[in-house]
Amino acid sequence: MLSARSVFQEILDDDESFRLFCSIAASGESQGGWENGRIAALVPAGERAMTGKITRHGADEDKHGRIFRALLRKRGLDPVDVPPETDYTMLLERRGIGLAHEKLRGAEPLTERDIVAYLAHSRVTEQRAAEQMRLLRRYFADDPDIGRAVRMISDDEDNHLAYCHEELLRLAGAGYGRMIQALLRESARAEIRVYRRVSLAVMDHMGRLLGWPRAKGALLAAGIHGVYGYEAAGGWRRMVSLRMPERRNALGGPATTAAEFA
């Protein structure tokens, strides 16, 4: 029977598909670590109190990249180049979502509006990350090979999402409410399109690696289009709501380590 769990299990059981899965994940997390590191270095004077939290966010993302690479090493596998059509971060940047890498490579301090844009973009993408990791946690939390990694990353993603909610609510109270809502809507609508595109590309690559029959590939593609249809019809709104999280000051301390993986 075809289910999300059976598809994930098939990908994890095969060395080549597992290698692609971990390579894509590691690349995206490492990119997020670099972006947050540069944002922390360029924080404007009025938001210096956030520097530690942004640094922690980046350190967590770097840690996740190391964890995925360590999972590859554990199976004696090397990373592979990430196909550009599966590069979620790059495709979002091309749509103008988030802060441009050209700006982050420079030395000019960011503005408070840049920080608002960073947090709004993160609110949307961290929603997706948290949901994906909760799904993996539901199925594989007790898996002897990846369970510990899944639990650790899932906890971090929940912290990142809580941090975005709390900081955006603070900034909304400081007069950025309309800007935040506009950026959240723009980011969410772009993200659901990019997520569909990347999901289809990843499933296409996995199908070729695993030798899926055409009917199975078509069924999975239909499922991806179905998710997009739901999100385009209104499901995207879950990505733009703001509420004070139960986890307050979620990134207020030092990053947890992953010595057992790295």
Please check whether residue 208 is in contact with residue 177, taking contact to mean a CB–CB distance below 8 angstroms: no
Q: How many CA atoms lie within 13 A of 95 on its CB side?
A: 19
Q: What are phi and psi of 81, to 5 degrees?
A: -65, 140
Q: How much is the pLDDT for 60?
A: 97
Predicted confidence pLDDT, tens digits, the chain (262 residues): 688 899 999 999 999 999 999 999 999 999 999 999 999 999 999 999 999 999 999 999 999 999 999 999 999 999 999 999 999 999 999 998 889 999 999 999 999 999 999 999 999 999 999 999 999 999 999 999 999 999 999 999 999 999 999 999 999 999 999 999 999 999 999 999 999 999 999 999 999 999 999 999 999 999 999 999 999 999 999 999 999 999 999 998 766 666 555 4
Cα angle at 174 between 171 and 177, to 5 degrees? 65
Question: CA 168 to CA 245: how far, in whole Å?
Answer: 11
User: Structural domain boundaries of the chain?
Assistant: 4-239
- 52 vs 74: CA distance, rounded Å: 32
In words, the CATH class of domain 4-239 is mainly alpha
Distance CA 250, CA 115 (A): 18
pLDDT at 258: 60
In sequence order, what are the residues at sequence separation of 6 or more whose Cβ sits closer than 8 angstroms to the Cβ of residue 204? 217
| C-alpha span between 224 and 201 (Å, rounded) | 11
